[in-house]
Amino acid sequence: MPRATPSQPSARLEARVSPEIKAIWQKAADLEGLTLTDFVIASVQAAASKVIEQHQTLKLNLEDSEAFVNTLLNPPPPNEALKAAALRYKQVMNNGTDDRTS
């Protein structure tokens, strides 16, 4: 776990917990060979990463996943809006030149 050095800014976080909770956290920190502060930081970091990962993972039900795969395997033909967007993209990538030959 990276620690703040004098050249690294740090932010302070305070929390009030019951003596029983603090004792449990302290015992766990001792068992891990960490200070209470390092134990709390590591635990909160792990929990935050897990929550973020859960919220960023796309989960589809069976019907939705089948529709997604079917669309990937059998894509619909491009509509006019997609054709126009592709043409604009090609023009921008060719530095604004109008190359309709390919």
Cα–Cα dist 47/30, whole Å: 20
pLDDT surpassing 70 at residue 3: no
pLDDT surpassing 60 at residue 101: no
pTM reported for the whole predicted model = 0.53
- CB-CB contact of 29 with 35 (8 Å): yes
pLDDT in tens, 29-42: 999 999 999 999 99
* Cα distances (Å, whole numbers) of residue 78 to 45, 81, 84: 45, 8, 10
pLDDT in tens, 26-84: 999 999 999 999 999 999 999 999 999 988 888 888 999 999 999 999 999 999 999 99
